[in-house]
Amino acid sequence: MTELREISFVPVDLDSLAQAEGRVAVCVPSDGKMSAGARRLNRLTRGAVARAVESEAFSKLKDGDVLSLAWPVGMAAEAVDLLRLDRRPTVAVARKAGAALARAAGTRAVTLLAEATQRPEEIALGLALRGYRFADHLSDKGTAPGAAVIQCKLPETAQDAARAAMAVAQGVVFTRDLVSEPANVLTTTEFANRLEALRDLGLEVEVLEEDRLAELGMGALLCVGQGSDSPSKVVVMRWKGGEGAPLALVGKGVVFDTGGISLKPAQGMEDMTMDMGGAGVVAGVMKTVALRKAKANVVGLVGLVENMPSGKATRPGDIVTSMKGDTIEVINTDAEGRLVLADVMWHAQEAEKPAAMIDLATLTGACIIALGHENAAVYANDDALAGDFLKAAGAEGEGAWRMPLGQAYDDMLKTMKADMKNVGGRPAGSITAAQFLQRFVKEDMPWIHLDIAGVAQVTKDTDLAPKGATGWGVMALDRLVRDRFEPK
């Protein structure tokens, strides 16, 4: 598993700068006014810092960007990095600055002069998240990232604030690692094992095996995994840190999706190792709330299956019975995630009696056609809950866009042979998938469905992540827990 860079906060010590190894960074505001630390670095580098700050290159930087001076004379460091960052940056800009510093530093040790700059803990979060590298299966794993020391005005206050930020970072990295693993490593059994290890953080973890799932009547979930040699499982993680009914988070955990009998094209099928992205986010959120000792009750439930073609696999045209008791005609075995979620969502409501429920899934390619890789699709039956989530996602810089639901879309799921079919055709494919799931939401249950197909894994760098698994949703959902479900 990926280890985060060690980050600490200490009092400002300008006398240590000359001998600091790795990289030395300093915050310089957009007006170019240099702090005491920047002036000390300027003297050590014989005026190079001042020349850089007065240069056209610095003037063209955006807030949060970095200008690097390599191999400075008079210092042990390999480089001096100038972070264009005003004294009172926004959360987003502070994180962007930390991420820019992580890109510049690579695995080198970092000494950052934040001095009177506010939000040093957010700079640290950006530094931790952008320094991520999944190297578990590389022969040459490279050098572990060096420590980062942030010199600031109130180090103890910053260290306290950073504990929650680093808990979030741990959850995001846990999600990224899970999504990045190949399916021959992250089997349903190995996934469950990694979740059981979260007991060490104080979570209650229960694993429901296939015989128990059959007793509960989870015919929809079980039909997805019956073509695989990997056993289907449901894992329930409970964090009991508060009073009242819990928030239920439900994740799709298809560890590999061939499409089943409705086989996917070979090109790009290797990316279907990330089809457990929803379950990965749920796992990351549960790790975060446990690490920061959230004063709320949260339960995470994930359905772990593998969708494979074989002589035992579900066929197009088969009819299965869900835990709710509704029958489903399986038109397309590649629309399997909704079958998994239907049973896990119903079990969550029956067994955990939540105050609200949010499901996450890399559910449809149609979502990517609609929103690209910038936003997750948000469907909800409760305006207040949807508004709170969108506010949390906006505060954390995680793109999300609310989409419609309606009876006309639901009517597209009608079939003569069963209570419903599992697809509604090509038009509005992401919406009809959400309509399918809504049929398994009890009438008085506030609910959100998040289709994260476009944001769980990306092919180019983002501000806070290298290309690959993003961990999208961990920060937004943790913020929602803090803002809506924890006492003020």
Q: What does the pLDDT look like over 375-426, one tens digit per residue? A: 999 999 999 999 999 999 999 999 999 999 999 999 999 999 999 999 999 9
pLDDT band at 144 (very low <50, low <70, confident <90, very high): confident
pLDDT grade for 247, boundaries at 50, 70 and 90:
very high
Joined tokens for residue 350: 């029956």
User: Would the pTM of this model clear 0.75, i.e. be above it?
Assistant: yes
Q: Assess whether 338 carries a catalytic annotation.
A: yes
Residue 141, pLDDT score: 84
Q: What is the DSSP string of 77-120?
A: SSEEEEEE--SS--HHHHHHHHHHHHHHHTTS-EEEEEET-S-H
Residue 260: per-residue pLDDT: 98
Cα–Cα distance for residue pair 469/173, rounded to 1 Å? 9
Query: For residues 302 and 195, what is the distance between their CA atoms, to the nearest angstrom?
Result: 10
Q: For residue 333, what pLDDT band results from cuts at 50, 70 and 90?
A: very high
State the pLDDT at residue 488: 84
pLDDT tens track for 438-455: 999 999 999 999 999 999
Tell me the average pLDDT across 151-162: 95
Tokens found for residue 17: 């700068």
User: What residues have CB less than 8 Å from 43, skipping those under 6 apart?
Assistant: none
Residue for token pair 């790795």: 22
The amino acid at 298: V
- DSSP H or E run through 388: helix 383-395
Mean pLDDT of 23-37: 96
Q: What is the pLDDT of residues 457-488, one digit of tens each?
A: 999 999 999 999 999 999 999 999 999 999 98
| Arithmetic mean of pLDDT, 181-193 | 98
Q: What are phi and psi of 260, to 5 degrees?
A: 70, -145
1 pLDDT more than 80: no
With beta carbons less than 8 A apart as the criterion, state whether 315 and 333 touch: yes
- Per the prediction, the chain carries an average pLDDT of 97
- Of 276, 234, 241, nearest in space to 256 by CA: 276
Give, for 378, the enclosing helix (H) or strand (E): strand 376-380
Reported as a single tens digit per residue, the pLDDT across 298-327 is 999 999 999 999 999 999 999 999 999 999
Instruction: Give the active site residue among 264, 391, 402, 482.
Output: 264
Per-residue confidence (pLDDT) for residue 116, from 0 to 100: 87
Judged against a pLDDT cut of 80, whether residue 226 lies above it is answered with yes
Q: What is the pLDDT of residue 256?
A: 98
H/E element, 69 = strand 66-70
Selecting among 176, 252, 292, 338, the annotated active-site residue is 338
The predicted pLDDT at position 254 comes to 98
| pLDDT, tens digit, 9 for 90 and up, residues 251-285 | 999 999 999 999 999 999 999 999 999 999 999 99
Determine the pLDDT at residue 249.
Answer: 99
pLDDT surpassing 90 at residue 87: yes
Domains of the chain in start order, with CATH, are 7-153 (3.40.220.10), 171-485 (3.40.630.10)
SS3 per residue for 162-231: HHHHHHHHHHHHHHHHHHHCCCCCCCHHHHHHHHHHHHHHCCEEEEECHHHHHHHCCHHHHHHHCCCCCC
pLDDT at 304: 98
